[in-house]
Amino acid sequence: MLPPFKNEPFTDFTQANTRAEFQAALDRVKSEVGQTYPLVIGEQRLALASTFATVNPSRPQERLAHFADGDATHADQAIAAAAEAFKTWQYVPVETRADYLFKAAAQMRQRKHEFSAVLVLEVGKSWAEADADTAEAIDFLEYYARQMLRLADSSHLLTPYDGERGTLHYIPLGVGAIIPPWNFPCAIACGMISAAIVAGNTVVFKPAEQSPLIGWKVAELFWDNGLPDGVLNFVTGPGHIVGARMVEHPQTRFIAFTGSRNVGLEINVKAAQVQPGQKWLKRAILELGGKDAVVVDETAQLDRAAQGIVSSAFGFQGQKCSAGSRAIIVKDVYDQVTEQVIALTEKLTIGAPDHSHEIYMGPVIDRESMRRIMEYIELGTQEGELLYGGHAIETPEGGYFIQPTIFGQVDPHARIAQEEIFGPVLALIKAEDYDHAIAIANDTEYGLTGSVYSQDRGRLERAAREYFVGNLYFNRKSTGAMVGAHPFGGFNMSGTDSKAGGPDYLLLFTQAKSIAEKIG
């Protein structure tokens, strides 16, 4: 009998021995840098002459690893290998498939700090953020394995029909393209892969260009446990070439994509175009960006609200789809909350996160991202009042550091209040009253997460009805969804509301077959 699902606890870095263990994991990962990794297609490990480097954004000259620079032909080969493996994998008993996830979870738990250390070095997460990413990956493995066991035989849900025996089976779809982003490169990659394969699909996994090393480590967990060749294929290379081909290939049955709105919209269109030889409608599971808001009214506990605003805006440098990049504050308490938000932001520590567990903010992901964020900051100086930050931080190693930046008195329709910046930039917006604040919160094309700080029960109930987001939080920050507790996914341009980590997620990776047999 399986124990019920429980979230993986977070590591307590106040303990000296835990910090020493984490430091040892960082040292170990650093001692392994510089290796070259192949494509994994079926049983083949394919080294290519052309490679690209994955680097540490705190010290970009530090190359962590080299990955094969694949192209469309490699995507084709990987899809062919996945299609071949699907012929048998689809019939592997669900208990056996679930077991691969349980084993991967157990091993990731044992090697937790190693995975988190890679996240610190490859994408610049603080220790706590990295630890949460790894814990979420473990949760996805444990949760989806249990969900698939539950779903596999759903016959008991059918209404009995006289003279017949009816059964209902959730069977897999086929070959899936798994295309995650770099910002939760362990949890999201692991979640999308594990959901797909436990449901009986085979996949081609293409990690984001900025984070292939953690992607490799996730895939390795499955290969090392003897997952049959071809069930999980690994290709690296440019998203617009390799990823694009994976999407348009006629043998691709579904696409699980998490990433930006623009790439997601392009995938949505491509997935709808039927290719010669294609026999099905492709399913596109798209989880996209956000322009999330924290609403504060005059009844709120203001110190808590200010803390929530700061963590929502600046955790992982604001590079979360759930980042609270807008704080909408009713006018009676606007000045007070603003003051507290600035005071808390002043205390945030910034630096290379491998140096200490006390670093709260690391670098942004790469040069291009830094350029884009600095452009928004420049725009912000015209659209609002710069209250804090506003500058890049020079380091001798050329890391991609940006100060946490706060703009006040921002118009709700300003570009910095409407467009996803994906960096440490917070827009403070003054609302006339609570009604106005909710109206402003809803007035974007996104609808992913939102927070409301209020002690007025009636207002919270109204937000429950009227605040149009997939994940709504009361009196807490807008980030930090937990698997099982907060099924995650957004409305409008934030995606197809796939609710990762929720009881319905695996339905997206399956199709239901109803069988009725005449008896007597």
Residue 140 within binding range of ligand NAD, rule CB under 6 A: no
Spatial CA neighbour of 57 closest among 420, 350, 378, 357: 350
Tell me the C-alpha to C-alpha distance, in Å, between residue 247 and each of 178, 243, 332.
9, 6, 50
* Beta strand 202-205 pairing with 232-234: parallel
Q: Smallest gap, in angstroms, from Cβ of residue 349 to ligand NAD?
A: 24
Spatial CA neighbour of 228 closest among 431, 131, 88: 88
Q: Smallest gap, in angstroms, from Cβ of residue 392 to ligand NAD?
A: 19
Q: Smallest gap, in angstroms, from Cβ of residue 11 to ligand NAD?
A: 22
Residue among 209, 292, 298, 366 that touches ligand NAD (CB under 6 A): 209
Cα separation, 417 vs 403, whole angstroms: 19
- Letter for the amino acid at 46? L
Residue among 172, 239, 308, 487 that touches ligand NAD (CB under 6 A): 239
Residue 259 within binding range of ligand NAD, rule CB under 6 A: yes
Q: Smallest gap, in angstroms, from Cβ of residue 479 to ligand NAD?
A: 11
- Angular region, 230: left φ>0, alpha ψ -120 to 50, beta rest: left
**Please, which residue, 318 or 404, has the CB nearer to ligand NAD?**
318
Q: What is the DSSP letter of 240?
A: I
Is residue 57 a contact partner of residue 123, using CB atoms and an 8 Å limit?
yes
Q: What is the DSSP string of 339-365?
A: HHHHHHHHT--BS-GGG-TT--B---S
**Please, which residue, 271 or 440, has the CB nearer to ligand NAD?**
271
Q: Smallest gap, in angstroms, from Cβ of residue 185 to ligand NAD?
A: 9
**Please, which residue, 180 or 308, has the CB nearer to ligand NAD?**
180
Residue 119 within binding range of ligand NAD, rule CB under 6 A: no
Instruction: Assess whether 190 carries a catalytic annotation.
Output: no
Backbone angles phi, psi at 411, to 5 degrees: -70, 135
- Sequence-distant (6+) residues with CB within 8 A of 458 are none
The structure tokens listed for 337 are: 């909350």
Residues 162-181 that bind ligand NAD (CB under 6 A): 179-181
* Beta strand 425-431 pairing with 405-408: parallel
Residue 263 within binding range of ligand NAD, rule CB under 6 A: yes
Using DSSP's 3-state secondary structure scheme, residue 212 falls into helix
- Window of 32-40, 158-166, 283-291, 503-511 that interacts with ligand NAD by CB under 6 A: 283-291
Q: Smallest gap, in angstroms, from Cβ of residue 19 to ligand NAD?
A: 28
Beta strands in 288-393 (DSSP E): 292-296, 324-330, 385-388, 392-393
Cα separation, 152 vs 93, whole angstroms: 10
Residue among 100, 115, 143, 182 that touches ligand NAD (CB under 6 A): 182
Residue 420 within binding range of ligand NAD, rule CB under 6 A: yes
Residues 447-466 that bind ligand NAD (CB under 6 A): 448
Residue among 45, 87, 150, 240 that touches ligand NAD (CB under 6 A): 240
Residue 89 within binding range of ligand NAD, rule CB under 6 A: no
- Window of 76-84, 296-304, 451-459, 490-498 that interacts with ligand NAD by CB under 6 A: 490-498
SS (H, E, C) 178-202: EECCCCCCCHHHHHHHHHHHHCCCE
**Please, which residue, 252 or 258, has the CB nearer to ligand NAD?**
258
- The CA dihedral of 338, 346, 414, 447, to the nearest 10 degrees, is -90
Q: How many residues bind ligand NAD (CB under 6 A)?
A: 32
- Angular region, 431: left φ>0, alpha ψ -120 to 50, beta rest: beta
* Beta strand 202-205 pairing with 175-179: parallel
Residue among 100, 184, 216, 254 that touches ligand NAD (CB under 6 A): 184
Backbone angles phi, psi at 211, to 5 degrees: -140, 45
Of 62, 122, 321, 383, which is the active-site residue?
A: 321
- Window of 98-106, 242-250, 353-361, 461-469 that interacts with ligand NAD by CB under 6 A: 242-250
**Please, which residue, 118 or 305, has the CB nearer to ligand NAD?**
118
Q: Smallest gap, in angstroms, from Cβ of residue 210 to ligand NAD?
A: 7
Of 287, 298, 383, 420, which is the active-site residue?
A: 287
Q: Smallest gap, in angstroms, from Cβ of residue 247 to ligand NAD?
A: 5
Q: Which residues bind ligand NAD (CB under 6 A)?
A: 179-184, 188, 206, 208-209, 239-240, 243-244, 247, 258-260, 263, 266-267, 287-290, 321, 420, 422, 448, 490, 494-495
The catalytic residue positions are 287, 321
